[in-house]
Chain A
Amino acid sequence: MTARTVLRNEWRLLMADRALRVVLGLFAVLLVYALANGVVWMRFQARTVEAVQAGNVERTRAIAEELAAIENGAEPASRFADPRAPNVLGGPRGSHTAVLEPGPLTALAVGQSDLLPYYYDVNIYTNESSFQQNGEVENPLNLMVGRFDLAFVVIYLLPLLVLAVSFNVLSEEREQGTLALTLSQPVSARRVVAAKLSFRALLVVGMVLAVSLLGILVTGGFSSPGRVLLWCATVVAYALFWFVLAAWVNSLRRSSAWNATVLVGAWLVLVVVLPAAINIASGLLHPLPSRVQMVTAQREASNEAVNRRSELLARYLEDHPEMAGGVVAEEPGLGALAWAATDAVNRRLEEVTSEHDARRAEQIALVRRYRFLSPALLAQEVLIDAAGTGDARFAGFQSQVRAFAEQWREFFVPAILASEQMDASVLPDLPRFRLEDEEGADVARRAGVPLTVLGALLVLAGVGAGVGLGRVRGAD
């Protein structure tokens, strides 16, 4: 009864308040703009994926054509690109591109998808330097802010809108004098504030969810209902956190100006300062080895390797008897020697990278530990993960590409070592990349902890607000 009465009154107040309507309208425009941004990016990514996959088909077709022609007596187009040579068929000319399809809700949260590669050309020369093109952006703000997409609006701007419509939910009633009349009625401040905030939450969250669902509809994300649900739940929990925080601050019975200051301060600390500080700290405490180190290592290793190819090959054959396929050439061919040098460089790169990766892992561990301090970090993590544009999905993709590259080498290297030629009969057996994409259950499992902590923060603020509002009796 009270709730319905308050809701109707709130509606009338909204209708009579031009400034508030303008703010809400502006926010709606921002939401739609952010969504359009995301949709454009997702379409671009989908087109790229399509083109890359067409490239795979086209390369295979061209090679099959040439192999057939050679079989019929034609000369290879170039002596250095003879498709029968395993280091050509398995090299850049015959390379296979491994592709990660756009995450189902990429249009809502571009996330890491415009920072991390979503396709790799895999061939026998694929090594760690191929994977280190990830371009970790050294400026943490870049990592954090990213594109102007819905996730950005939700994480950064939604709290501001929530605070704009709720920072004075109770203090305004006191300052304009209506609180005395209200509390002389048989209602509690808690119920009235809860009803007032419910109305505003319905409005604000409704807007965000409506635009989200629109984006999901337009880009076909409803085929992943679990992700949609996770997205919506996170938006709701995050928005409610800010509403409840505003209720709590209001329950302290200070002025509207005081409330505004404290709440904007909270936004600044929780959304901007803490995440930036955590990122900066992780960079300072666990600095990444410079990329120059990797380039230098690669150059030095190749210079050295070129001059020690025979020795390297002998060692390689010792280490990889399976690659020799039982056939060890008496007089190793040029291809085999070259491969030995390539492999030596790869080993050296792996050493350098593992150091890099260890530091990176330490950084991530630090960020993960302290993300509990900021509801913004928690919500962002889940939103991006739900969208399928989070770190975990990219890491999964990358590790599968690594395994695929290994598989690719195993297919070609024995022939390289044995200086054998290949023909069209191997084409149907060429390794093909098939992504084992993460399941909804994986995403849900990863969301468990951050969502629980976000929920706990919500409950904490809720208890504070409940207790505080319970103490509000009179109008002073």
Chain B
Amino acid sequence: MNTPESRHPAELGNGRAPLLEARGLSKNYGATRALDSLDLAIAPGEVYCLLGPNGAGKTTTINLFLGFVAPTSGQAFIAGLDVSAHDRETKQRIAYIPEQVMLYRNLSGLENLEYFAALGGKGALTPGRLTDILVEAGLERSAVDQRVSEYSKGMRQKVGIAIAIAKEADALLLDEPTSGLDPQASNEFSELIERLKNRGVAVLMATHDLFRAKETGTRVGIMRYGRLVTELGTEEIGHADLERIYLKHMHD
């Protein structure tokens, strides 16, 4: 009943059934229209970058997919399931990486991964396997057993990715995951996203970084005042175009 069969095929990124979908999704905070009738569909293997200034509604969108806030109207679907009605099932299929991946500082990266993976239903993974996943996520093998209090932000983001890998999430929700990372770390992060994309993960990433959006994204959406004002495929445009279009929308 919740399967989005009624959609116009053209709206789907690569023609496959979307893993993340918003229909008329809206959120008011008091008088503030934080998100206004968002329609969005992200298929497996797509990286959808939400661009927009502060307060545009990017975080609100991600929080709606996470079920962290309830929509004022409209629905968010994950793998065809309405988030409001299927809290556990939808969370089983997603991974979330906030701007700051905050972990238990007194525990090691491995212990943190073990905990969050187990919460996500992957309690059977051995420490050896989890270590491999952390290494796959770009952490030095020697850092795996260090306390997180000694980690840099980049290392913590990598643990966030490792949690997503361990969970075998179908969809990834990223809220400005690279802001504050140095270019090197930022690049490594993008490569990881690329790899997950190639495995068929659907990615929704909020970002300020036009360059990164063009590099990593398959599509970008520009938001302003809670509305998705335009949507572009990154194949069709160059960096300069994206910047021009973005700025044009910001100054209307």
Contact = CB atoms under 8 A, between A and B. Distances in A.
A7 to B, nearest CB: 11
B149 to A, nearest CB: 10
Interface size range on A against B: 20 to 34
A253 to B, nearest CB: 13
A185 B97 CA distance: 12
A5 B91 contact: no
A475 B115 CA distance: 18
Contacts of B89: 186
Contacts of B66: 183-184, 474
A1 B91 CA distance: 16
Contacts of A188: 87
A178 interface: yes
Interface in A289-344: none
A4 B107 CA distance: 17
Contacts of B115: 5, 8-9
Interface stretch (B118-126, B127-135, B181-189, B240-248): B118-126
Contacts of A4: 123
A475 B98 CA distance: 11
A180 interface: yes
Given A5-B119, A178-B103, A183 B68 contact: yes
Given A1-B123, A5-B123, A186-B89, A181 B70 contact: no
Contacts of B225: none
Contact of A13 (B101, B106, B123, B163): B106
A186 to B, nearest CB: 4
Given A2-B119, A13-B104, A13-B106, A473 B69 contact: yes
B94 A184 contact: yes
At the interface, is chain A mostly helix, strand, loop or mixed?
helix
A178 B106 CA distance: 12
B48 interface: no
Contacts of A2: 119
B100 interface: yes
Contacts of B121: 1, 186
A182 interface: yes
Contacts of B96: 180-181, 184
Given A473-B67, A473-B70, A186 B88 contact: yes
A9 B113 CA distance: 11
Interface in B37-93: 63, 66-70, 87-89, 91-92
A187 B119 contact: yes
Given A473-B70, A474-B68, A474-B69, A182 B119 contact: yes
Interface residues of B, number: 35
A4 B124 CA distance: 12
A426 interface: no
Contact of B95 (A13, A178, A184, A474): A184
A363 to B, nearest CB: 52
At the interface, is chain B mostly helix, strand, loop or mixed?
mixed
A127 B62 CA distance: 83
A17 B105 CA distance: 10
Nearest to B88: A186
B229 interface: no
A187 to B, nearest CB: 5
B111 interface: yes
Most chain B Cβ neighbours within 10 Å, of A1, A4, A180, A473: A180
A180 B98 contact: yes
A176 interface: yes
B107 A13 contact: yes
A177 B96 CA distance: 13
A473 B66 CA distance: 9
A12 interface: yes
Contacts of B87: 186, 188
Nearest to A17: B106
Interface of A: 1-2, 4-6, 8-9, 12-13, 16-17, 176-178, 180-188, 473-476
26 contacts: A1-B118, A6-B119, A13-B104, A16-B106, A16-B147, A176-B102, A176-B104, A177-B98, A180-B68, A181-B103, A181-B116, A181-B160, A182-B119, A183-B66, A184-B94, A184-B95, A185-B119, A185-B120, A186-B87, A186-B89, A186-B92, A186-B120, A187-B91, A188-B87, A474-B69, A475-B68
Given A181-B102, A184-B91, 18 more contacts: A1-B118, A5-B118, A6-B119, A8-B115, A9-B111, A12-B111, A16-B107, A176-B102, A178-B102, A181-B96, A181-B160, A183-B66, A183-B68, A184-B95, A186-B88, A186-B89, A186-B92, A187-B91
